[in-house]
Amino acid sequence: MAHVRRGLPILNTPQKIFYEENGYIVIRKNVSPELLDEVTQRFIDICNGDPNHNVSVIMKDPSLKKMNAKGQYLINKFQDFAYDEGFWKYISADTVVDVVQEIIGPNITAAHSMFINKPPNADPGSSLHPLHQDLHYFPFRPADKIVASWTAIERVDENNGCLYVVPGSHKGPLYEHTYPDGFKKNMYHGIKGFDQLKRVHVIMERGDTVFFHPLLLHGSGPNMTKGFRKAISCHYADSNCEFINVEGTTQENIAEEIEKTALKLFGITGVKMQDVWRLKSRLVRGNPGNFQTVESHL
Ligand SMILES: O=C(O)CCC(=O)C(=O)O
């Protein structure tokens, strides 16, 4: 039976067809301004040194570090905050999760979460995100049972580094990812040789959310404005997704980096990429399936 809100389907048939054909769908005014204010304030407070949080990874823009920038003028990403009750309000927001349920079904695990900030004045090579597919980072399948939400916290367009996508590319394979030529940021892998593909810039207003498939080719440009470009995002998987062994696949390079980072940040030895995903994931709705097989989280 179709999932409904106030008597209307969450996604209508043309929206479902658009997602299936293009690998993404934008839902306008999907997240309330109040919730966006709350998560933004939480981001700023933690950037300013509030120690009371459960954010696993806090990343600084390397070009802004050299300029001695501070706080939200320096920090460009929070990652893995499913166990932070402030950010959990976004991850578990009904307006987001109802759309996710339409795409991947009722058993939903939040597998990866990010607050992405593009501060002003960064080196453009550092501010951009190269063309990539998110499935490169995920050791679970099937790909059709994974979806990302990405919500604009302010208007995003080509001037401040909105997302761009290659419509329909989710129907292709997972490509080999490596570090791009030029600026290298930890784990920002990209694919090479696809510059001729037609890119669509996804222009969005505050509160709009784009939902997209993990094989969709996408990236974002640099923020060339004097303001910030902030967004909040979560990758959701059907909890019944199966973990895979990535040895001997194109994902071996990222597995190695993730395992080394887990050792450096958390002192966990012998950890496999699959364990990292189990540790940081959190059940959102339905049955726990294959993800919540360990007690603690990072
Ligand atoms: O927010 C951005 O600029 C890009 C985010 C993205 O593509 C990702 O983290 O996979």
Fold observed for domain 4-285: Jelly Rolls (2.60.120)
CA dist., res. 170 & res. 173, Å (int):
8
**Looking at residue 183, what is its pLDDT?**
83
**Residue ID of nearest Cα to ligand 1 atom 3:** 220
Question: pLDDT digit string (tens) for 121-159?
Answer: 999 999 999 999 999 999 999 999 999 999 999 999 999
**Residue ID of nearest Cα to ligand 1 atom 10:** 134
Give the Å distance between the CA of 129 and the centre of ligand 1: 6
CA distance to 102, 173, 255, 289, per residue, from 238 (Å): 11, 20, 21, 8
Kindly provide the residue ranges of all beta strands, DSSP E only, lying in 99-168, ordered along the sequence: 108-118, 129-132, 140-141, 146-152, 163-165
Q: Which of 129, 157, 189, 191 to mutate to test the pocket of ligand 1 (most atoms within 8 A of CB)?
A: 129
**Looking at residue 78, what is its pLDDT?**
98
CA distance to 49, 231, 262, per residue, from 31 (Å): 27, 12, 32
Please name every residue paired with 204 in a beta bridge, in sequence order, or none if there are none: 156
Q: Which of 113, 160, 220, 228 to mutate to test the pocket of ligand 1 (most atoms within 8 A of CB)?
A: 220
- From the CB of 112, is ligand 1 less than 6 Å away? no
Of all residues in the chain, the percent with pLDDT exceeding 90 is 84
- Identify whether the C-beta of residue 36 lies closer than 8 Å to the C-beta of residue 206: yes
- Residues across the chain: 298
- From the CB of 63, is ligand 1 less than 6 Å away? no
Domain ranges of the chain: 4-285
In the chain, what's the furthest Cα-to-Cα distance?
55
**Looking at residue 184, what is its pLDDT?**
85
Question: pLDDT digit string (tens) for 120-129?
Answer: 999 999 999 9
Give the Å distance between the CA of 8 and the centre of ligand 1: 31
pLDDT band at 3 (very low <50, low <70, confident <90, very high): low
Question: pLDDT digit string (tens) for 254-291?
Answer: 999 998 888 887 787 788 899 889 989 999 999 989 98
Helices (H), the chain: 13-22, 33-47, 62-66, 85-91, 94-104, 124-127, 252-266, 273-280
pLDDT band at 298 (very low <50, low <70, confident <90, very high): very low
3-state DSSP helix/strand/coil % of the chain, to nearest 5: 30, 25, 45
Q: Which of 136, 218, 229 to mutate to test the pocket of ligand 1 (most atoms within 8 A of CB)?
A: 218
Question: Using the 8-state DSSP alphabet, how is residue 156 labeled?
Answer: B
Q: What tokens appear for 145 in the block?
A: 């049972």
Average of per-residue pLDDT values in the chain: 93
Question: pLDDT digit string (tens) for 13-40?
Answer: 999 999 999 999 999 999 999 999 999 9
